[in-house]
């Protein structure tokens, strides 16, 4: 599978057991990251000024002022930013704060991981980020509790802005069955590809789960499984040197020919064609 980095490795601070980090880039110290990688932590990046492209799970998103980006553990990303890019970067592990994806939809694997903020939303968020950084630097009594409290405020402000931007789309909502299905899918996609397995855990029928997903996402529960498997296959094929057979086996396929047919049908390319195109 893909190499995954933690906060200590990103900042070259071994044995520190860091679970939280906030940085203000003025300007950013690493404007070009050409090789995609994954994290085992959550990340929020809020652009103050600058331009470029942030690629998250093979999708390109424009970088411009007042844009927030979201990464959940396991997502692959890279970027090419202008040298004058400034803004905040907040990194935190699930042991520091576990933001339920039901509460913060931008961390769902299927959600759009970029949000253009309005001026007032951005100003309020920026003030909160400044306070969060100050708390991190001063380290007064009970500062870790305060860091968590301030981080929750920031996440909630972003949730409000995300809701206003996407409330008429499938990316937000409070359908508990769909949200729980997505959480289960993230946990079991590499070992279970049958809708009935997830429906049973949700105590509904497979037909009902398909109906709910079609209403919420415009696609079936089965297609969501295929999309999740395809995404992980793309990550492994493009970003590692694993043999195609190893990739197939890691995703629950016992027949390499069937995996190759599945991949080509879903992506339009064979696994080797996709690897060559993304090297």
Model confidence at 152, pLDDT cuts 50, 70, 90, reads: very high
In terms of C-beta density within 10 A (0-12 exposed, 13-18 middle, 19 or more buried), how is residue 166 classed?
A: middle
Integer Cα distance of 72 and 141 in angstroms: 30
Residues 6+ positions from 153 with CB-CB distance below 8 Å: 128
Residues 168 and 107: their CA atoms lie apart, in Å, by: 18
Buried b (16+ CB within 10 A) or exposed e, 242-276: bebeebbeebebeebeebbebbeebbebebeebbe
Residues of CATH 2.60.120.280 domain(s) within the chain? 4-166
Express each pLDDT in 39-88 by its tens digit: 889 999 999 999 999 999 989 999 999 999 999 988 889 999 999 999 99
Alpha-carbon dihedral angle through residues 223, 70, 101, 123, given to the nearest 10 degrees: -140
Per-residue model confidence (pLDDT) at position 113: 95
> Where in the chain do CATH 1.10.10.60 domains reside?
176-278
**Where does the pLDDT of residue 271 fall: very low under 50, low under 70, confident under 90, or very high at 90 and above?**
very high
Q: What digits encode the pLDDT tens for the residues 219-243?
A: 899 999 999 999 999 999 988 889 9
CA distances in angstroms from 85 to 28, 48, 118, 136, listed in the order given: 6, 7, 19, 22
Record the tokens describing residue 138, joined without a space.
Answer: 């001063």
| pLDDT 10s digits, 102-124 | 578 899 877 899 999 999 999 99
Instruction: Render the burial of 110-139: b for 16+ CB within 10 Å, e for the rest.
Output: bbbbbbebeeebbebbbebbeebbebbeee
For residue 25 the two structure tokens come to 């880039």
Q: What's the pTM?
A: 0.82
- Which pLDDT belongs to residue 17? 65
* Strand pairing report for 4-5 and 32-39: parallel
User: How many CB atoms within 10 Å of residue 20?
Assistant: 19
Confirm if 21 and 68 have CB atoms less than 8 A apart: no
Q: Is the CATH code 1.10.10.60 the one for domain 176-278?
A: yes
Question: Between 2.60.120.280, 3.30.70.60, 3.40.190.10, 2.160.10.10, what CATH number should domain 4-166 receive?
Answer: 2.60.120.280
pLDDT at 6 over 90: no
**Of 51, 58, 52, which is closest to residue 77 (Cα–Cα)?**
58
Helix (H, G, I), strand (E, B) or coil at 31: coil
For residues 259 and 245, give the distance between their C-alpha atoms in angstroms, rounded to a whole number: 9
d(CA 102, CA 267): 29
196 band by pLDDT with thresholds 50, 70 and 90: very high
Q: What is the pLDDT of residue 102?
A: 57
Average of pLDDT values for 14-43? 86
Please determine, for residue 263, whether its predicted confidence score (pLDDT) is greater than 60. yes
């Amino acid at each position: 599978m893909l190499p995954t980095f933690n906060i200590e490795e990103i900042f070259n601070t071994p044995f520190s057991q860091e679970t939280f980090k906030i940085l203000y880039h003025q300007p950013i110290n690493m404007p070009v990251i050409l090789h995609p990688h994954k994290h085992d932590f959550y990340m929020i990046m809020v652009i103050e000024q600058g331009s470029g492209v942030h690629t998250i799970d093979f999708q390109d998103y424009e970088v411009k002022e007042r844009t927030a980006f979201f990464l959940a553990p396991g997502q692959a990303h890279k970027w090419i930013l202008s040298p004058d890019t400034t803004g905040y970067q907040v990194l935190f592990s699930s042991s520091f704060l576990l933001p339920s994806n039901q509460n913060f939809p931008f961390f769902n694997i299927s959600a759009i991981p970029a949000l253009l903020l309005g001026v007032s939303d951005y100003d309020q968020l920026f003030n909160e980020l400044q306070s969060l950084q100050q708390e991190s630097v001063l380290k007064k009594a009970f500062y870790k509790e305060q860091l968590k409290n301030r981080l929750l405020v920031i996440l909630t402000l972003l949730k409000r802005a995300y809701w206003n931007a996407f409330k008429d789309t499938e990316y937000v909502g409070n359908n508990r069955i769909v949200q729980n299905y997505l959480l289960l899918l993230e946990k079991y996609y590499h070992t279970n590809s049958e809708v009935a397995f997830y429906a049973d855990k949700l105590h509904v029928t497979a037909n009902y789960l398909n109906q709910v997903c079609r209403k919420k996402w415009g696609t079936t529960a089965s297609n969501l499984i295929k999309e999740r498997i395809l995404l992980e296959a793309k990550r492994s094929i493009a970003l590692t040197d694993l043999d195609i057979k190893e990739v197939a086996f890691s995703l629950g396929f016992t027949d390499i020919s069937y995996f190759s047919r599945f991949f080509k049908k879903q992506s339009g390319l064979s696994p080797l064609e996709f690897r060559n195109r993304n090297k």
